[in-house]
């Protein structure tokens, strides 16, 4: 197994400390999957991989089932987190980004076997009446989306074209979040209430977050998730709830540690790094401006 600093820190630093520390505030794991396939993703570091083998996914679902977890919707999470005396009560949310076809043939049968539900976030430009591809993989068709909807699978928006929203003007951002929502609703007949932010979430950009939250609210969204790492807790923003990334490099020990909260440290670490980079960038801009003045 390739050495992973995040795995080492989680299992041999955070987990032992967590077992001795007082029980933390209740929180709910929201798992983030993408493709259920055997893609080796050669050349991609373990943390950034997005494929989970069907065999490993089956093992993870069995683990959740044997440990008494039950799946809930994002709406239920957002509601429960704000209630006094909130308890996690072995609740979990399972989400899939990008709308790949292997959800239909690989993930859904296993979810059904264990009585679990899931939310799938669709980039609507890549969902068609015939199979379209996104990042080299076949995506769901609208007929498959409608069939899955009838069997209890929830669908949310992942924008239209899956762009890096923070690099777009606000008019284009509004179109991306409104059109994707209306397209899914027109195709399925079900209301779309949740949104998943594509790519790395700009957690240090407070003004951007505030304005995006308002656009989502005005568009009719009620909940959302992003790529910030961790479990959703009382302090989570209901439009940008944290998730736990899962892929084929997550062995049983790491998977269970993530469920228990031992991986939540990654969010704070990433925030500190991004903040430092932002400040360093501003310092460089000041120096360049000063050199020309």
pLDDT (tens digit per residue) in 127-142: 999 999 999 999 999 9
What's the full length of the chain, in residues? 293
pLDDT of residue 269: 85
State residue 88's pLDDT score. 66
At residue 292, the pLDDT reads 47
In Å, the largest CA–CA distance within the chain is 68
**DSSP secondary-structure letter at 141?**
B
Poorest-confidence range of 88-92, 107-111, 282-286?
282-286
- Rounded to the nearest integer, the mean pLDDT of the chain is 92
Closest CA to 258 of 2, 95, 14, 67: 14
Instruction: Answer yes or no: is pLDDT of 85 > 70.
Output: no
DSSP helix/strand/coil, 179: helix
Task: Give 84's pLDDT tier (boundaries 50, 70, 90).
Answer: confident
Q: Sign of the C-alpha dihedral, residues 57, 62, 67, 68?
A: positive
User: What local confidence, expressed as pLDDT, does residue 286 receive?
Assistant: 53
pTM score? 0.92
Q: Which domains, from first to last, does the chain contain?
A: 5-291 (3.20.20.370)
Instruction: Say whether pLDDT at 223 is over 90.
Output: yes
Q: Distance between CA atoms of 60 and 64, rounded to whole angstroms?
A: 6
Phi/psi of residue 64, nearest 5 degrees:
-65, -45
116-128 confidence digits (pLDDT tens): 999 999 999 999 9
Q: Is the pLDDT of residue 101 over 90?
A: yes
In percent, the amount of the chain with pLDDT more than 90 equals 80
Residue 191 in contact with residue 199, Cβ under 8 Å? no
Determine what percent of the chain is predicted with pLDDT higher than 70. 91
CB atoms within 10 A of CB 3: 7
Phi/psi region, residue 158 (left: phi>0; alpha: psi -120 to 50; beta: rest), is alpha
126 pairs with which residues across the strands? none
Beta strands 91-97; 70-71: pairing state: parallel
Q: How confident is the model at residue 281 (pLDDT cuts 50, 70, 90)?
A: low
d(CA 35, CA 50): 6
């Amino acid at each position: 197994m390739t050495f992973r600093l995040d795995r080492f820190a989680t299992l041999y630093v955070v987990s032992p400390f967590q077992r001795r520390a007082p029980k933390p505030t209740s929180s709910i794991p929201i798992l983030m999957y993408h493709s259920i396939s055997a893609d080796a993703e050669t050349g991609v570091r373990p943390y950034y991989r997005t494929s989970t083998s069907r065999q490993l996914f089956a093992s993870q679902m069995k683990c959740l089932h044997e440990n008494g977890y039950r799946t809930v919707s994002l709406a239920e999470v957002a509601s429960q987190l704000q209630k006094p005396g909130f308890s996690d009560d072995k609740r979990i949310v399972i989400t899939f980004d990008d709308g790949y076809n292997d959800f239909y043939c690989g993930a859904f049968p296993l979810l059904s076997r264990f009585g679990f539900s899931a939310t799938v976030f669709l980039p609507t430009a890549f969902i068609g009446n015939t199979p379209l591809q996104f990042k080299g993989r076949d995506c769901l068709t609208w007929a498959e989306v409608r069939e899955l909807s009838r069997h209890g699978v929830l669908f949310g928006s992942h924008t239209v074209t899956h762009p890096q929203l923070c690099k777009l003007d606000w008019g284009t951002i509004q179109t991306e979040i409104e059109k994707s929502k209306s397209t899914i609703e027109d195709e399925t007949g079900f209301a779309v209430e949740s949104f998943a932010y594509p790519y790395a979430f700009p957690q240090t950009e407070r003004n951007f977050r505030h304005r995006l939250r308002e656009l989502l609210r005005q568009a009719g969204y009620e909940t959302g998730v992003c790529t910030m790492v961790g479990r959703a807790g009382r302090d989570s923003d209901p439009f940008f709830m944290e998730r736990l990334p899962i892929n084929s490099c997550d062995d049983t020990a790491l998977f269970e540690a993530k469920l228990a909260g031992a991986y939540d440290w990654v969010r704070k670490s990433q925030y500190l790094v991004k903040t430092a980079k932002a400040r360093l960038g501003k310092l460089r801009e000041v120096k360049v401006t000063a050199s020309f003045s």
